[in-house]
Amino acid sequence: MTRFEQRIKARLDNIRALGLARNLLELGISGEGRVVYQGREYLNCAGNDYLGLAADPKLVAQFYDQLDEKTLLSRFGPGSTGSRLMTGNHGVNRELEEGLSRLYDPGRVLVFNSGYHANIGILPALAQRGDLILADKLCHASLIDGMRLSRAKVIRYPHMDYARLEALLAQHRKAYGQVFIVTESIFSMDGDTANLGRMVHLKEQFHAVLYVDEAHAVGLRGRHGLGLAEEQGMLEAVDLLVGTFGKAWAGQGAFVVCSQVLRKYLLNTARSFIFTTGLPPVSLSWLLFVMKKIPQMTRQRRHIRQLADSLRKGLLREGLETGGNSHIMPVLIGAADRAVQVAETLRKRGFWITAVRPPTVPAGTARLRLSLTAAMKEEDLASLPRLLADAIMDMQA
């Protein structure tokens, strides 16, 4: 082992000692909200297939039934073979962006390869030296990395503390050329929802730009599944709305809804868009396929809300510390190693649950993150609150 490797091994040993070590586990999809690990089936309470599309064998078969020789390469090709500004831009790219633009009218859409690509590309392209970014303290890692890559000053305000946000705007606005307000709509680790109406008021009052990451709301919230901005009547007031395809859409990629001038500028300046191979036609074709279905999935969205209401009440009834008002429910444990132990206990009872630990969440707030999907049934979750309470109690004994 080289001296360099010894230094890295020492760091790795420290990660293990803190209970923060991570490993890759090979899972299979079994359908109906379940996964398979080492031959055993579990209810998947850790995934993001919120509408149950990825685990619906009939839907996947229907998608591949479209396959024929005429469309084999143009719509089902395995790779785009180039960046979109070189040779990787095809008809399916245009169809998807135009279809999304009609849904999010009057906005225009630009598709990225992932939510991470979008968030590390958009802010660095737009926020320049002499600008200011005000971001919710619990914004996702990809947003944090995008802010770090920008040349703007960054201040992170306390989570959903809009009085503090207003005070920061009043204090700093005149000193900066442009101010960006950055938030998630549904926060990925806490499951609570932003007050977009309040944020729109502040951005208009102080002539700021509002950037909203709807990763965990697209498909689930709003009459047509367009996200929390649709639900709260704020679609036209959000300057930059980012959604992902890798969660409720059960696909690959992400998109930003913005004005035509912003879209054109990002196409020319967002490095994570310019310098990467475009999405493969088969992935884009899946997105076109489900785009026609998601706006009509009112029943599934209602079912998830009912599941979430029932489970949250059950957790509170057992005296567990939880929060949020969405399909994502944290169960706070505190210490990272204890969160891992509780998750392992729940897996023995048939629930695939993972511990969320620092640096994903702040130190001392390790938790179990329960996420629900439309493929689940209420009876699947009925025993979970009691099992969780018992597992935590046994660990503390």
Q: Which residues are catalytic?
A: 48, 140, 184, 188, 213, 216, 247
Nearest-angstrom CA–CA distance, 116 and 254: 8
The 3-state secondary structure of the chain reads CCHHHHHHHHHHHHHHHCCCCCCCCCCEEEECCEEEECCEEEEECCCCCCCCCCCCHHHHHHHHCCCCHHHHHHHHCCCCCCECCCCCCCHHHHHHHHHHHHHCCCCEEEEECCHHHHHHHHHHHHCCCCCEEEEECCCCHHHHHHHHHCCCEEEEECCCCHHHHHHHHHHHHHHCCCEEEEEECECCCCCCECCHHHHHHHHHHCCCEEEEECCCCCCCCCCCCCCHHHHCCCHHHCCEEEEECCCCCCCCCEEEEECHHHHHHHHHHCHHHHCCECCCHHHHHHHHHHHCCHHHCHHHHHHHHHHHHHHHHHHHHCCCCCCCCCCEEEEEEECHHHHHHHHHHHHHCCEECCEECCCCCCCCCEEEEEECCCCCCHHHHCCHHHHHHHHHHHHHC
**What are the CA-CA distances from residue 36 to residues 54, 161, 354, 368, 385 (Å)?**
15, 41, 15, 20, 22
Question: What is the spatial distance between Cα 189 and Cα 196, in angstroms, rounded to a whole number?
Answer: 18
HEC-encoded secondary structure of 233-246 = CCHHHCCEEEEECC
Among candidate residues 45, 50, 47, the one with its CA nearest the CA of residue 388: 45
